[in-house]
Amino acid sequence: MVVVFCLGLLVSSLMERRAEVVSVFNNKRTVFTDSIVAQNEKFKADYPREYNTWAMTEDTSFESMYNGSEAVDVLEQRPNMVILWAGYAFSRHYNTPRGHKHALDDMREILRTGSPGVNGQNDMQPATCWTCKGPDVPRMMREMGLANYYHARWSELGNEMMNTIGCSDCHDARTMELKPARPALYEAWERAGKDVNKATHQELRSLVCAQCHTEYYFVKGTDYLMFPQDKGMTCEDAEAYYDEIDFYDYIHPLSKTPILKAQHPGYEVALQGIHGQRGVSCADCHMPYMSEGGVKFTDHHIMSPLANIDRTCQTCHRQDAETLRQNVYDRQMKATEVRDRAEDELAKAHIEAKFAIDNGATEAEMKPIQDLLRKSQWRWDYAIASHGATFHAPQEVTRLLSHSVDYAQQARLLIAKVCAKHGYTGDIPLPDISTKAKAQQYIGLDMPTLETNKKEFLETVVPKWIEEAKANGKLIALN
């Protein structure tokens, strides 16, 4: 009897999977009248497949040859970067990125945001830093007005930023049509004579990503968020834009170079690659379509396409999965070889520049060296800051990195000449920067204090933010 019943269950599961086809829109339970709905949980009932796959961005188990979905301390792996970012918050703490579901936690935990409110410390970042961290951002921009939002300090909005990157960041909640929620994208396109509202659906499947995964800067004084796309979408175009307005992110404390910090120009770099140029959108590979029970939907578990080669690469390419994976790794390895050379040369150049300054090099003598270092570091950072770049556009990345090596070496030649002029002809002594701790000590960072303050911040300030948000109905408590 039992066996027959179990067989029956098996048979019925076979039968019933045929009829999994259901209509989403005919049975909509929650109708929104507002285009921005910050609480992602409110979409769960109507879009269970999208919601559930989105929720899986919490998973950190995927690993690839380069990066994965777990946070890995990059400064530990490549201590040279501590030297390159000396004088800037990135030298404190820099991890590989995790999934969207971790965006708020990661931002609160990273040492780059400081510990405002602890031991009398003030904010080191403006509210602009929240801009990509969730659907509460467009909500607050609307409530406060854009200029006021950008001008606020980071911790002022701590109790508002409660819902991590989700539905309303990319969708109009009323229709679920794709609609990037960040004004900076619309403004940049308008200045370049284009209109986001006229973009095709396929373009929007990249633009919803491009509203954040792009190079940006904060206008000095107002902290207004801008994209440097007026002159074009390449590394050199953005550099020309910054040079024209004399922009720099920080003065490097060793070489006194006005440095441009690149911020993940993922969209721009992808446009330089063959997939981008053939019109493949970000979502095509990072959010591949999926058929489940005869229902086709977009997988919202955004992650490396290498985790699902059967629905990403193989939708177009017929080679077997291991061949395709190796093709990707080969491209990444080659670009990474040059990257390591660039980081090595650049770190040495900064340290040697400091030696030249300490030994009497004049401002006029240092100017051409600093120009070269600025160019070199901009190219290096632009090439490495968007994490998938070595695959998205391997030739472009290798080109930028080789220019970076070249400029750094030109700078080192000039430094040697300047040093010789001031009577020093030997090898310039280099400190031991073989680990993150040694490098951070060399540039004078007091890591124990930074970490203690952060711990206290996470234990005292953040819980208060969450409590206030719950009381104000900004956060749906799930348990």
* Residues that bind other proteins in the complex, under the rule CB under 8 A: 10-21, 288-291, 293-294, 296, 308, 310-311, 314-316, 318, 320
Asked if 400 and 372 count as a contact pair (C-beta separation under 8 A), the reply is: no
Neighbouring C-beta atoms of residue 246, cutoff 10 Å: 8
22 vs 274 by CB, closer to other proteins: 22
**Separation of alpha carbons 411 and 48, rounded Å:** 56
265 vs 288 by CB, closer to other proteins: 288
14 vs 477 by CB, closer to other proteins: 14
147 vs 316 by CB, closer to other proteins: 316
Minimum separation from the CB atom of position 18 to other proteins (A): 5
474: which 2 tokens? 């900004």
CA angle, residues 21, 27, 33, in degrees to nearest 5: 135
**Separation of alpha carbons 161 and 152, rounded Å:** 13
11 vs 413 by CB, closer to other proteins: 11
Minimum separation from the CB atom of position 462 to other proteins (A): 39
Asked if 235 and 264 count as a contact pair (C-beta separation under 8 A), the reply is: no
15 vs 31 by CB, closer to other proteins: 15
Which of 308, 306, 303 has its CA nearest to residue 328?
306
Asked if 71 and 59 count as a contact pair (C-beta separation under 8 A), the reply is: no
Query: Hey, is 369 helix, strand or coil?
Result: helix
Minimum separation from the CB atom of position 41 to other proteins (A): 22
Minimum separation from the CB atom of position 388 to other proteins (A): 21
Minimum separation from the CB atom of position 325 to other proteins (A): 15
**Separation of alpha carbons 192 and 380, rounded Å:** 26
Minimum separation from the CB atom of position 330 to other proteins (A): 20
Minimum separation from the CB atom of position 176 to other proteins (A): 17
Q: Where are the beta strands (DSSP E) in 121-223?
A: 217-218
Asked if 209 and 266 count as a contact pair (C-beta separation under 8 A), the reply is: yes
CA atoms within 13 A on the CB side of 347: 24
185 vs 328 by CB, closer to other proteins: 328
Minimum separation from the CB atom of position 433 to other proteins (A): 46
Which of 136, 150, 170 has its CA nearest to residue 217?
150
69: which 2 tokens? 């979905």
DSSP state of 69: S
60 vs 298 by CB, closer to other proteins: 298
Q: How far is CA 449 from CA 114, 119, 155, 254, 299, in A?
A: 11, 11, 20, 23, 42
DSSP state of 458: I
Sign of CA dihedral 307, 310, 312, 313: positive
Burial 259-273 (b: 16+ CB within 10 A, else e): bbbbbbbbbbbbbbb
Minimum separation from the CB atom of position 308 to other proteins (A): 8
CA atoms within 13 A on the CB side of 66: 19
Minimum separation from the CB atom of position 220 to other proteins (A): 47
195 vs 320 by CB, closer to other proteins: 320
Minimum separation from the CB atom of position 58 to other proteins (A): 21
Helices then strands (H, E): number in the chain?
21, 6
Secondary structure string (H, E, C) spanning 282-350:
HHHHHCCEEEECCEEEECCCCCCHHHHCCCCHHHCCCCCHHHHHHHHHHHHHHHHHHHHHHHHHHHHHH
194: which 2 tokens? 């284009």
20 vs 446 by CB, closer to other proteins: 20
Minimum separation from the CB atom of position 283 to other proteins (A): 12
317 vs 422 by CB, closer to other proteins: 317
310 vs 363 by CB, closer to other proteins: 310
48 vs 145 by CB, closer to other proteins: 48
Asked if 468 and 160 count as a contact pair (C-beta separation under 8 A), the reply is: no
Minimum separation from the CB atom of position 322 to other proteins (A): 13
